[in-house]
């Protein structure tokens, strides 16, 4: 699909694979290829779940800092928005998503993992937002998605200090959902997605929209949004199949429509 980012499909799972050795640094080209891969995964009906994976050795060690050394405010006012938008494209894939994290997920790499619904991390993985050590702050979702995930106090600890978090701490504070041996991370991510691959795709999409978009609304607005999405599912074939199967006391056979 691209020079550094590819989308592979197998048995309902789409894998967005970063391939820019040695550290999968997130330069402009990776950014745009990632955006394109996310859009393709979102639109392909054969893909029912998505894994973001950097390979067996490293997820992504962050931005390509060489691009920062000569950058101006004018440059980065445009670049930061574009990078954040690429990660948002991943976050808005209307299907279950898992980041399969091996090695380092730092800076932009950690922000990319945060854009997924769940994170499986290797026992030797290290995650963090070290931008403060460059005189910067996270600029592609870290200051927003991280506190929503682990709470503001813990997020401030990581962002203010720039320290790295190992797998067990990541699991304890909610930054990781599962920990696996390095050679089992990808398989564990597949295992997490399998229960949803033959599920009601439109209902899963609605549930994700209700949760993610509802977090940015006040309670009254969020409840109205939920009601709208709930009602919309009565136009789907899977809702008919699901309710009919329940009444008939049989297992439903969803088609994703």
pLDDT tens per residue, range 30-66 = 999 999 999 999 999 999 999 999 999 999 988 777 7
Reply yes or no on whether 168 is catalytic: no
Residues 6+ apart with CB under 8 A from 52: 15, 16, 18, 90, 97, 98, 99, 100, 112, 113, 115, 116
- Compute CA 155 distance to the chain's CA centroid, rounded to the nearest angstrom: 18
The pLDDT tens digits of the residues spanning 201-253 come to: 999 999 999 999 999 999 999 999 999 999 999 999 999 999 999 999 999 99
> Which of these, 69, 181, 41, 52, lies nearest to 110 by C-alpha position?
52
Token pair listed for 256 = 């994703």
**Of these residues, 8, 131, 168, 241, which one is catalytic?**
131
For this structure, is 111 an active site residue? yes
CB 224 within 8 A of CB 243: no
pLDDT at 25: 93
User: Could you tell me how far CA 253 lies from the centroid of its own chain?
Assistant: 28
Neighbours of 22 (CB within 10 A): 8
Longest dimension (CA), the chain: 67
Residue-range domains of the chain with CATH: 5-196 (3.90.226.10), 201-248 (1.10.12.10)
Q: Which of 67, 111, 169, 191 is catalytic?
A: 111
Do the strands 164-166 and 126-128 form a parallel or antiparallel pair, or are they unpaired?
Answer: antiparallel
Whether the pLDDT of residue 75 is over 90: the answer is no
Taking only the tens place, the pLDDT of each residue in 170-195 is 999 999 999 999 999 999 999 999 99
Strand locations in the chain, DSSP E?
A: 5-10, 13-18, 49-53, 97-101, 104-106, 118-122, 126-128, 164-166, 178-180
């Amino acid at each position: 699909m691209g020079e550094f980012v590819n989308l592979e499909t197998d048995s309902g799972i789409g894998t967005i694979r970063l391939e820019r050795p040695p550290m999968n640094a997130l330069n402009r080209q990776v950014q745009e290829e990632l955006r394109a891969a996310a859009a393709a995964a979102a639109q392909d009906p054969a893909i029912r779940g998505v894994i973001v994976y950097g390979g067996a050795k490293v997820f992504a060690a962050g931005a390509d800092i060489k691009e920062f050394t000569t950058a101006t405010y004018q440059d980065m006012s445009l670049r930061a928005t574009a990078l954040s938008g690429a990660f948002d494209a991943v976050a808005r894939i209307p299907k279950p998503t898992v980041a399969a994290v091996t090695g380092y997920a730092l800076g932009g790499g950690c922000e990319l993992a945060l854009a997924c619904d769940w994170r499986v991390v290797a026992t030797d993985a290290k995650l963090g937002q070290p931008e403060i050590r460059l005189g910067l702050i996270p600029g592609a979702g870290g200051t927003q998605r991280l506190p929503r995930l682990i709470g503001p106090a813990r997020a401030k600890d990581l962002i203010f200090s720039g320290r790295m978090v190992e797998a067990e701490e990541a699991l304890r504070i909610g930054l990781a959902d599962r920990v696996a041996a390095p050679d089992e991370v990808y398989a564990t991510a597949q295992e997490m997605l399998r229960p949803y691959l033959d599920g009601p795709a439109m209902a899963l999409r609605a549930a994700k929209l209700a949760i993610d978009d509802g977090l940015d609304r006040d309670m009254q607005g969020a409840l109205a949004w939920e009601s709208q999405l709930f009602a919309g599912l009565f136009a789907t074939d899977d809702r008919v199949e699901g309710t009919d199967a329940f009444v008939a006391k049989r297992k439903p056979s969803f088609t994703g429509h």
